[in-house]
Structures are given as C-alpha cells and as structure tokens.
C-alpha cells in the first residue's frame, strides 16, 4: 500500500462530523454506496504517489 493512501475506518466514532450511519435512516441509498465502496478490492488500484490528484494509466 502506498504511503499516501489513507484507509477510512467508518466504525470509529468521531466528534465532528457525526457518524453518517447514525444520522441517516437505514433505508437510504448512501448506506448501500458505503457498503459497496468498502467491498471493493483495491489491491489492483495504482496510486499516484506524486500527490497531483491525477489518475495513473496502465
């Protein structure tokens, strides 16, 4: 994993902003999107270590 890639732990309680799963009703689309994003296999993703915000091709 690249040094600039920061994983998100959505289970960690935060002071601000509040945990999204606690604030939005369970039947909303955002819960599906969060679960789908967590299920993605990111091992094949190439990370731009230069930090320019552009995708790497190849």
Summarised one tens digit per residue, pLDDT across range 8-31 is 787 877 666 667 678 888 899 988
Q: How many domains does the chain have?
A: 1
pTM of the model: 0.47
Asked if residue 21 belongs to a domain, the reply is yes
DSSP-assigned states of every residue in 1-56? --TT-----TTS--SSSPPHHHHS-TTSHHHHHHHHHHH--GGGPPP-TT-SSPPP
Say which residue, 40 or 6, is predicted with more confidence: 40
Asked if residue 52 belongs to a domain, the reply is no
Domain carrying residue 20: 15-47
Asked if residue 58 belongs to a domain, the reply is no
């Amino acid at each position: 994993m690249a040094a600039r890639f920061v994983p998100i732990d959505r289970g960690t309680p935060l002071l601000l902003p509040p945990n999204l799963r606690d604030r939005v009703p369970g039947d909303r689309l955002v819960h599906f999107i969060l679960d789908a994003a967590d299920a993605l296999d990111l091992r094949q993703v190439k990370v731009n270590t230069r930090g320019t915000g552009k995708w790497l091709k190849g």
